[in-house]
Amino acid sequence: MLISIIAAMSLNRVIGESNRIPWYIPGEQKRFKEITWGHAIIMGRKTHESIGRALPGRTNIVITRQQNYSAPGCIVVCNLQDALENCPLNEAEAFIIGGEQIFRLALPLAHRIYLTTIQQEIEGDAFFPEFSPTEFKMIQLEHIEAKLPYTVAVFDRGVSASH
């Protein structure tokens, strides 16, 4: 199973502000839905709560340390390893969708990163972690002209990385 991270960040690596995404880009949300549809999505409790519901058409897995946490329509687990083990048996690609803590935990395991970068600095309190350009090679880059311009890049872990 391919382990992928999918995220959107600003130029200063912000991914969130007060437990929400500090921008709205309809095309970017549509892309997220198209890429993750039919797959497992793994997220932290705060990310799940900011979304407010299970996302349809996907296996929703929520990681939390809170015992007896309830998330209707979701599988609730206590760590990333349990989340990966709870993906459907035939899952080809599982997506880590946030937030900051979960991205940091998943980065050493990730095979691929789908990363949207908003082309401006934005205030926030949650950040996407740095990753090594020697470990991940950009295999795709697209510039999107919009009210809030952004780029979409896909990075694959290089063959020299240990996996």
pLDDT digits (tens, 9 = 90+) for 73-85: 999 999 999 999 9
Give the Cα separation of 76 and 83 in Å (integer): 8
Give the Cα separation of 36 and 8 in Å (integer): 14
pLDDT digits (tens, 9 = 90+) for 33-47: 999 999 999 999 999
Is the per-residue pLDDT at 30 higher than 50? yes
Is the per-residue pLDDT at 162 higher than 60? no
Give the Cα separation of 105 and 100 in Å (integer): 9
Mean pLDDT calculated for residue range 59-79: 97
Is the per-residue pLDDT at 163 higher than 80? no
Give the Cα separation of 112 and 2 in Å (integer): 8
What residue spans of 41-135 are helical by DSSP H?
45-51, 80-85, 100-106
The pLDDT of residue 55 is 98
Domain boundaries, given as residue ranges, for the chain? 2-157
User: Using alpha carbons only, what angle is made at residue 100 by residues 91 and 80, rounded to the nearest 5 degrees?
Assistant: 40
Indicate whether this model's pTM tops 0.85: yes
Mean pLDDT calculated for residue range 60-79: 97
Give the Cα separation of 14 and 122 in Å (integer): 7
Give the Cα separation of 56 and 33 in Å (integer): 9
The pLDDT of residue 159 is 53
Is the per-residue pLDDT at 17 higher than 60? yes
Mean pLDDT calculated for residue range 149-156: 96
Computed from CA positions of residues 71, 77, 80, 81, in that sequence, does the dihedral angle turn out positive or negative?
negative
Is the per-residue pLDDT at 160 higher than 60? no
CATH of 2-157, picked from 3.40.50.410, 3.90.1640.10, 3.40.920.10, 3.40.430.10, is 3.40.430.10
On whether the CB atoms of residues 112 and 157 are closer than 8 A, the answer is yes
